[in-house]
Amino acid sequence: MSDSNTNVCTAAPTLIFACSGAADVGAVSDKAARELTAKGAGKMYCLAGIGGRVPGILKTTAEAEKILAIDGCPLDCVRLSLEEADFSEFRHMRVTDLGLEKGKSPATEKNIDRVVQAALDVLGT
């Protein structure tokens, strides 16, 4: 592993899992999670690692103080992935519950900021 990748999967007090699906609301979820990470509100983490049951990712997730799941739409892929991996203690939000409509909500700065602000509220920060 190169030095640039050594800290990618390290622990953080708050882990953020986001939809990164093909729909626009998935893109908004993903970009909001990246912005929350940049702001220091938590650390975006690997949802594929949860689905793949990667032992180190599961262990790090279990040790997190807080977990935030950001779903793009009512399919709730993030929530279901976490639950399928036996995680139940997490905060959940859905982009479409914020008034953004699937197929009509591009990943603009305004839409991303809306999700970031809602996520900060959910996290209590």
Mean pLDDT, the chain, rounded, equals 92
H-type helices in 1-125, by residue range? 24-38, 47-51, 55-63, 77-84, 109-123
Domains of the chain by range and CATH? 12-123 (3.40.50)
pTM: 0.90
Q: Would you state the structure tokens that stand for residue 114, as one six-digit string? A: 């809306």
> Residues near 66 by Cβ (< 8 Å), separated by ≥ 6?
13, 14, 15, 42, 90, 91, 123
Kindly report, residue by residue over 21-76, the tens digit of the pLDDT.
999 999 999 999 999 999 999 999 999 999 999 999 999 999 999 999 999 999 99
Percentage, residues of the chain above pLDDT 70: 91
Tell me the C-alpha distance between 106 and 111, whole Å: 7
